[in-house]
A and B are shown apart, each in its own frame.
Chain A
Amino acid sequence: MAIYLIVALDVLNGIASLFLLCLGLAIIFGMMKIINLAHGEFIMLGAYATVISANAGVNIWIAMLVVAPLFVGIVGLVIERCLIRFLYGRLVDSMLATWGLSLLIIGIVTTIYGNTQQGVPTPLGGFSIGSYQSSYYTLFLAGMAIVTMALVYGVMSYTRLGLIARATMQNPAMAATLGVNPARVYMSTFAVGAAVTGLAGGLLAPVSGITPGMGGAYVAKAFMTVVGGGAAILSGTMSAASLFGAVNQVGAYFTTPVYGEVLVFTAAIVLIRLLPQGISGRFFKGNL
C-alpha cells in the first residue's frame, strides 16, 4: 500500500514540476507565437539566482519566491527589448536567435561561476509512509503549481490586464485599433513568461543539480509539453504536463529513469501525430 502512495507522490511531483517548468514557455508561445529556445537557460538563471542569494545569506524562501522571478523577469525584459522585438512573425529566425541566446547565457554563466555544480539544501523535512521516505518539499511544489495556476487563471479571467492580454492574443490588429499597444503587451508578456520560468528555476533549485548546462535537460521536455498541449495556455499545459509527467514517473518506476524519459518522448511524438493541434486544440477549444 505504502509503495502506491509513494508512486502517487512521485507522479504528483513529476506533474507539478513539469507544469511549473512549462508554464512560462506556454505563456510566451501561446501569446506571442515565439518559440523561446533559451527557456532552459531562464530556468538555469532562476536556479542560480536562488542559490547565489541563498548562499549570500538571503532567506531561502525569499530567494526562491522573490529574487529568482524578479531577476529573470528583468533579464527577460532586457532580452525582449534588445533581441526578441525584432523577430516577431519570423518563427524560424526567433528560434535561431533564442538558440544563440541560450548558448550565450550558458557561456556567460560558465565564465563567471565555472562549470561546477552548485546547490542549496532542500528546505522542509521529510516524512515517512510505511518504510518509505518522502519530503514535504514535494507537497510544497504541488501546492505552488496550483497557486501559480490559480494566479494565472485569476489574472487572465478577471482583470483588465488579462482581458487586454487575451484580446491581443486573439487578434493583435483589432486590439491595436481599440487603443491597445501590442508592442507593450508583448513586452510585458515576455517579461511575465520569463519571471514565471525564473520562479520554476528557483523552486527546482533545491532538488536539482545546478550547472550552467542544466537548461538543456529541461528545454526539450518543456518544448514538447507546450506543443503537445496546444494553444490554450492553462488547460493545454496542465493536460500535457499531467500526461507526460505521469508517463515519465510510472515508466521510471517500472523500468529505469532513462526509459521513463524515452517513453515520454515517444508518447510526445505519438501525441503530436494523433493530435497535430495539441490536446487543447481538440478537447478544450477556446479555453484559457
Chain B
Amino acid sequence: MNRRVVVTGLGICAPNGVGLTNFYESMLNGSSGITFHQELADLGFGCQIAGKPEIREGLKESYFTSLQLRGLNSSGIVYGVMAGSDAWKDAGLEKADKDLPDWDSGIIFGTGILGIDKLRESIHLIDNNNARRLGSNSVMQTMASGISAYLGGILGCGNQVTTNSSACATGTEGVIMGMERIRAGKAERMLVGSCNDSGPYIWGGFDAMRILPSNYNDNPQEASRPMSSSASGFVPGSGAGAMVLESLSSALERGAKIYAEVLGGAINSGGQRGVGSMTAPNSQAVQKCILEALMDAGVDKSEVDVINGHLTATSKDVEEIRNWSEALGRTGVDFPIINATKGLVGHCLAASGSVECVAALLQYREGLVFGNRNCQDLHPEILALVDASRIPLKTISHTPGIMAKASFGFGDVNACVIFNDYKVK
C-alpha cells in the first residue's frame, strides 16, 4: 500500500504572527518577530533578544476551558494547542463526538522540553517540602507528550497520539513520520507539528554556549541574518506550527482544500562521526538525507524548484549551502530558489521545522516565494556557489513546483521533506 498524502490544514503560532492571516502578512512583507526582552537583560544574558509569539489578551480562552487554564504555566502547550486546533479547523475537520474517538485520525506533535516554567514552579514547591501542593496538573504540563495529549483530548483522536523529539529537526521529522503512517494505510489523517516553550530557562543554555548574537540588543530585527556575511549566531525563538496531513482519497472524499502534496522524505543521522558531532552536522549524512528524500519522492535532482533551508544564521550556513549544491549537483543560476524563514522568526528550536514548513506551504496557496531578510550582504562563499538572483530579498511571484525543506538538529540528526504543488493526475 503506497497512498498519496496531501496537506489539508495549517495552523501557526509564530513570533511574527499568531494565526495564519497575521503570519502570512508578516511573511509577505518581511516583518520580523524578533524583539528585545527586558527579562533577559535583567538576568544578565549576552543575547537579550528573542522570538516569542504575542498572545493577545483573551485569546487563550477560545482554545482552553477555564479549568485547563487554571495553573497553566507551559508556553509550549499554549502555542501547540493553538496551532494544532487551528490546523484542524482550517482542514474543515470537527472535534470527535463526546463518546466516540475518531479512530482514523492521529497526532504526532513534537517538542524539545515541555513546560519548563511549570517544572520550575514544581521544583520550588518540592524543594520547600511542599510536594503535596503540586496539584494534579504538574505531570501533564511537563511530560514531553503533554502537547500531543492535550491536543488528543481536545480533538478526540483515536489513532496514534505521540510526541517525537529530535532537537531542531523535530518539526520536519514529524511531517515525514505522519506521511509514512498515512502511506502505510494505518491512518487517514495525522495532525503533525511541533512546539517549543519560550523564556530564559529555554534560551539560557544556548546563551552559555556563546552561539547567540550579543551585538543586536538595540537592533533586534536585524539580528537574525541567515546566509549573510555578518551572521553572528542564531536568535532564539519559540512557538508552534501544525499541519493536517491526509490521504488523498480522504481529502477528495471530503472535498477538502489541498495546499500541496507531500511527495516523500528522509530522516537520518551522521552518527557523530567524521566531522559530525553533538552540535555539528556530518555533511555526508546531510547530503545523503537530501538524496534519499528525493528518491523517496521519486523526484530527480534537476526538478527541485524551491528550497526552504535550515539556515540558522551561523557560520554553518555556508556548509549547508555547499551540501545542497553538491547533493543536487547545481550551482549559480541553476541553483533552486532558496529562502530562510529564520530571518523573520529566529530559530524556533523544536518548533522551527513545523513553523518553517507552514511558511513554505503557504507559498503554494499564494503563488509566492517569501523573501529573505537581513542578507543583503550575502556571504561570499555562498555567492561563489549560488547566483544572487536565487536568493530573493523581497517576496517574489512564483508558484513553487517541487520544494525541499530540511531541518538539522543537535545529535547530528537530519530530516528532509519534499512537497509538490498538488495537481490532479
A binds B: no
Residues of A within 8 A of B (CB): none
